[in-house]
Structures are given as structure tokens and as C-alpha cells.
Structure 1
Amino acid sequence: MNKKTLVLGASLKPERYSNFVIRKLVNQCFEVVAFGLKQGEVAGIPIDTDLLPYKDLHTVTLYVNPKKQSMYYDYVVSLKPKRVIFNPGTENPEFYEILKKHNIFFEVACSLVLLSTNQY
């Protein structure tokens, strides 16, 4: 099953975890879309700077500081993903409650570890 994933908070910098996860997802043949503050491309995946209405998302993996996440609450809910992954440093109990109210599963985990251990 292809778990189409949105990397929210994608970075062009190769040393950033969001960049690494895009490359790992592509290498493992996942369908990937990405949103970031700077337009560019990582592993052939364009980084969008507009909040696009992506369809059929399975996962949103977050790489956005909790203090800046509130601007994305409605957007993420509107995408109706099956799950949201809160990577280390993105934990946000306020957002958890919003997702619960919309019956969107979330987990506090590291996407890179999940991918590396075949638990993604």
C-alpha cells in the first residue's frame, strides 16, 4: 500500500531531517508531496510554497515548530489525512485535541525511525 505522504515543513538543506525523510520516502517508493517556505526540489520532489489541496493523503509528517503550527491546523484537517506524525520537537497537545475532534489518528514518533524499521 502506497501511503502518500505530505512532508509539512520541508527544507532544501540536506542536513535537515525533513529533507532526509523526503529522500528516504522516495527511495522506498512512497508517493511524496512537500510544503516548505522556500521553493525548490529534493530527490525530484518539488517543494510547494502554496498550501495546495492535496488529495488522497495517508500521512502528514510534521517538521514545523509547535509555536508555528497553529497557522496549519485548519489546512491539515481539510486534507483529511489518515494520520499525522509529530516528529521530535513538533509535539503539540493543542493540535492533538483538534485532530481527535476530527477523527484523525496521530502519533508522536520519528518518521525516519518508522521508515528504517519498516513500521511506517
Structure 2
Amino acid sequence: MTDSKKTVVVGATPNPSRYAYQAAHMLSRYGHTFIPLSIKQGSVAGEEIMDLRQKPLIPEVDTLTLYIGSRHHAEWMDYLLSLSPKRIIFNPGTENPEFMQKAEEQGIEVVAGCTLVMLRTGIY
């Protein structure tokens, strides 16, 4: 098993049909600490979803994995960057050139990829 990477699942959901739900469960199975963060309420993989609207302070973030559409990024971009993650994974459908550029300018690794595939193939 790889070292645990504290991951914030942005757009977490208790809905089992969503990729964000699957990602939370897979992160847990692969031994990674994850923080579900969303405007949705409930819990996923045994963790209570934190309210994105409250912009909670989350220390020592390794990875943000995005499951919110790019049309919602402007509202949350500055807050998410303020968490100072080492990397941001833009899952399919969440790619955003402006957000990606801002992250890179702050020295954050930007990955256009799929968290689920990255975990399954051991490149997470």
C-alpha cells in the first residue's frame, strides 16, 4: 500500500450512483484519509460531509479531487486554493484552464485525470 494521501473530495455525495461517492469509498479502501466536502448533506464511506459553504479550514491537504462542474469553480476557487494542496485532480468534466493555471502559479501540481483510474492503476 502506498503512503496515505489526505484527500479532499470536493463535491462529495451520499448518492451511490455518483463518481464522487465511488471515489470516497475507493480512497477509504486504498487506505487514504479523505475529507468529503460539498453543499450536499449526509455522509459517505462513514464520514460526515463537511459543508463547502462554510469554507472549513482543512490542514495538511495532499490532494483535492474535484467532482464539481467547472461552472461552479469561480465561487470556490480561491477557497480551495487557500487549502494549499500539493495537487489538484481535475476529474473528467471538471477541467478548467483558469483554475489549472492559478494552481500551477501557486506551485500546485495539476492533474487532468480520473481518481478512480489512478487508484486502480497504482499511480495515485
TM-score (norm 1): 0.96
Aligned position for 1:24: 26
Aligned position for 1:66: 70
1:55·1:79 contact (CA, 8 Å) conserved in 2? yes
Say yes or no: does 1:81 pair with 2:85.
yes
- Determine the C-alpha separation between the residues in 2 that align with 1:38 and 1:111: 20
Amino acid at match of 2:92: P
- Determine the C-alpha separation between the residues in 1 that align with 2:99 and 2:83: 15
CA-based RMSD of the aligned residues comes to 0.8
Which of 107, 114, 122 is the aligned partner of 1:110? 114
Amino acid at match of 1:43: A
- Determine the C-alpha separation between the residues in 2 that align with 1:116 and 1:92: 24
Query: Unpaired segments of 5 or more residues in structure 1?
Result: none
- Determine the C-alpha separation between the residues in 2 that align with 1:94 and 1:77: 12
Q: Cα deviations across residues 65-110 of structure 1 (Å, max 9, x unaligned)?
A: 0011111111111100000000000010011111122111111000
Q: Name the stretch that deviates more: 85-94 or 35-44.
A: 35-44
Aligned position for 2:38: 36
- How far the C-alpha of 1:39 sits from its partner, in A, is 1.6
- How far the C-alpha of 1:32 sits from its partner, in A, is 0.6
Which of 95, 101, 104 is the aligned partner of 2:105? 101
Q: Cα deviations across residues 9-29 of structure 1 (Å, max 9, x unaligned)?
A: 111110100000000001111
The sequence identity of aligned pairs, in percent, is 38
Equivalenced residue count is 120
2:95·2:112 contact (CA, 8 Å) conserved in 1? yes
TM-score (norm 2): 0.93
Query: Unpaired segments of 5 or more residues in structure 2?
Result: none
1:58·1:83 contact (CA, 8 Å) conserved in 2? yes
